[in-house]
Structure 1
Amino acid sequence: MAMRVFVVEDSATINLIETLKELFGAEIVGWAATESHAIKMLAELDWDVALVDLFVASGSGLSVARALQGRDKARPVFVTTNYATPDMRSRCAALNVDAVFDKSVELDLLFDQLAILR
């Protein structure tokens, strides 16, 4: 069964969706560019992994992470951001995010984590 991934991302410059499909055969079950859309869709869809950008078109990825705090821990939430500061990593950890990856230098680490889940 393909890994079902939900992506919260508002930037078209990162082609994460195609990469996930190509590298992992992932099924992208949903995509949202805003906090409210992401929270609504994540509650309605069946997903295995959520990839959440911190800065989205409207709202915040932190609010998305907060909405997912009580999820089954078998469903990891990974934050991808260009702002992976120590403070932001700490804030994400407090919201039960499984890991934070800096988009500019840590995507390989994200892919390693996804390979483990596959």
Structure 2
Amino acid sequence: MTLAVFIVEDEPLIQDSLKVVLEGYLQAEVVGTALSEAEAVAWLQANEEAWQLLVVDLLLKQGTGLGVLAALSALGRKKGIVVALTNAASPDNRAECIRLGADAVFDKAAEVNEFLAYCAAGH
């Protein structure tokens, strides 16, 4: 079964790179993307059953990934893997992501291999 992925990332080049890597390495299907918190929250509310893996950046041009995680928590997420992939993976941000319901947090620059291994393991 193909892994359905939703990506929240405001940098188009990074979003495209993630799509290529996830579809190539994991044989996943990117079912949607969002550039902002509001766009992500609207999509997640309308498509609760459409994704199995959510990849969210914390630093967005409009809103934050923490806002996306908080909204997802308020929706009462029942399934799916939620991963924060960010350049802002400080200990405080990692703790806040986990508190808001993320399953894992990875540094975009230093932990990409760990992120891919985590996703491939089907956590």
State the aligned residue count.
117
Q: What is the distance in 1 between the residues matched to 2:120 and 2:99?
A: 25
Counterparts in 2 of 1:51-66, with a 5 A limit?
A: 51-66=55-70
Does the residue aligned with 2:13 lie in a helix, a strand or coil? coil
* Residue segments in structure 2 that go unaligned for 5+ positions in a row: none
Match of 1:13, as an amino acid? L
Structure 2 counterpart of 1:16, which letter? L
Report the aligned-residue RMSD.
1.2
Gaps of 5+ in 1: none
Q: Does 1:77 align with 2:77?
A: no
Q: What do the CA deviations read for 1:7-33 (whole angstroms, capped 9, x no partner)?
A: 000113321111101101111110000
In the TM superposition, residue 93 of structure 1 has moved relative to its aligned partner by 1.3
Equivalent residue of 1:117, what SS? coil
User: Following the alignment from structure 1 to structure 2, what is the Cα–Cα distance between the partners of residues 33 and 12?
Assistant: 8
**1:8 matched residue in structure 2:** 8
- From 102, 105, 113, the equivalent of 1:108 is 113
Give the structure 1 partner of residue 93 of structure 2.
88
Runs (4+) of structure 1 moved beyond 3 Å?
Answer: none
